[in-house]
Amino acid sequence: MLFKDQSGRAVEILSPPRRIVSVVPSQTELLYDLNAPVTGITKFCVHPESWFRSLPRVGGTKQLHLEKIAALQPDLIIANKEENEKAQIEALALQFPVWVSDIHTLQDACDMITAIGHILQQQHAAQKIADNIRERFNLLEPFPTAVPTAYFIWREPWMVAGGDTFIHEMMHRCGFRNVFADLPRYPAITLPQLAASGCRLVLLSSEPYPFREKHIAEIREYLPDAGVLLVDGEMFSWYGSRLLQAPAYFQQLIHLISS
């Protein structure tokens, strides 16, 4: 059957597929929740732990081992436009069906979930996940006045989430005004730039860079009066079924900052 992916490509896929390789951690977790027959994952696909411990790993999201994927003879590869390298995905698409997601908004994420459910012939389960995600986000109570915020994903160089990212969407849902919204993707910035941005809150993500308490002091040298918090990066950047947990986490974070 032909299925259109989120990059607009028509992909011919055996439905339901029998041997899936997932090269996107958040979508791996979704596939587990949809009872998909996954035969290969990346080294960053840490949820569920049972798959992380038992399934063959095919490299990292940016450095896939194409020969390991080929050896698994997948009838479907689930990839993502941002998380995977274009050249590697194009090479895989010459041999195997590759369905590519492209996620910037909550609606994009819900569309991805239902689309994958359709491919797996798990439409009801996927629709239930998407509907529950929407309902829980509708109940989220953001800050009434937007808080100027920077969200860091990397150090050396310091890198933040720009305005065309899914993280930016999650920040907006919480009532955090991204002070670097005018920059694309994940720009490198300097701490003097941060100090000049009007930022009042800094969020240091747990991934991909593992920020720790010791890094808070570096930020406070430039922003002594701003709040600086360590946050769960999965809640801000995983756009699969982990979104079911995100609104409750965000509400707790909002209450913490408010108090």
CATH code of the domain in which 126 resides: 3.40.50.1980
For residues 45 and 156, state if they share a domain: no
Distance CA 259, CA 255 (A): 6
* pLDDT beyond 90 at 183: yes
For residues 101 and 190, state if they share a domain: no
pLDDT band at 151 (very low <50, low <70, confident <90, very high): very high
Across the range 147-153, mean pLDDT stands at 98
Across the range 70-87, mean pLDDT stands at 97
pLDDT band at 15 (very low <50, low <70, confident <90, very high): confident
Distance CA 252, CA 214 (A): 23
What does the angle CA 70 – CA 117 – CA 250 come to, to the nearest 5 degrees?
105
Q: Does 180 map to a domain?
A: yes
Nearby residues of 40 by Cβ (< 8 Å), 6 or more positions away: 20, 21, 22, 55, 56, 57, 58, 68, 69, 72, 74
Distance CA 42, CA 113 (A): 19
Domain edge (last residue) among 103, 136, 169: 136
pLDDT band at 149 (very low <50, low <70, confident <90, very high): very high
For residues 84 and 209, state if they share a domain: no
Q: Does 142 map to a domain?
A: no
Count the domains in the chain. Answer: 2
For residues 127 and 154, state if they share a domain: no
Domain edge (last residue) among 100, 117, 136: 136
Residue 42, φ and ψ in degrees, nearest 5: -90, 170
Q: 30-72, pLDDT tens digit by residue? A: 999 999 999 999 999 999 999 999 999 999 999 999 999 999 9
For residues 155 and 130, state if they share a domain: no
CA gyration radius, the chain: 19
Across the range 17-29, mean pLDDT stands at 98
For residues 79 and 182, state if they share a domain: no
Q: 85-106, pLDDT tens digit by residue? A: 999 999 999 999 999 999 999 9
What local confidence, expressed as pLDDT, does residue 51 receive? 98
Q: 206-243, pLDDT tens digit by residue? A: 999 999 999 999 999 999 999 999 999 999 999 999 99
Domain edge (last residue) among 91, 115, 136: 136
For residues 132 and 157, state if they share a domain: no
For residues 213 and 121, state if they share a domain: no
Q: Does 166 map to a domain?
A: yes
For residues 7 and 116, state if they share a domain: yes
Q: Does 230 map to a domain?
A: yes
For residues 160 and 34, state if they share a domain: no
Q: Does 199 map to a domain?
A: yes
Residue type, 183: L
Distance CA 122, CA 126 (A): 6
pLDDT band at 259 (very low <50, low <70, confident <90, very high): confident
For residues 204 and 251, state if they share a domain: yes
Range of the domain at 32: 2-136
Percent share of the chain, pLDDT over 90: 99
Q: Does 188 map to a domain?
A: yes
Nearby residues of 196 by Cβ (< 8 Å), 6 or more positions away: none
For residues 115 and 180, state if they share a domain: no
Closest listed residue to residue 185, CA positions, set 112, 99, 83:
83
* pLDDT beyond 90 at 169: yes
Closest listed residue to residue 173, CA positions, set 137, 206, 147:
137
Closest listed residue to residue 26, CA positions, set 98, 79, 90:
79
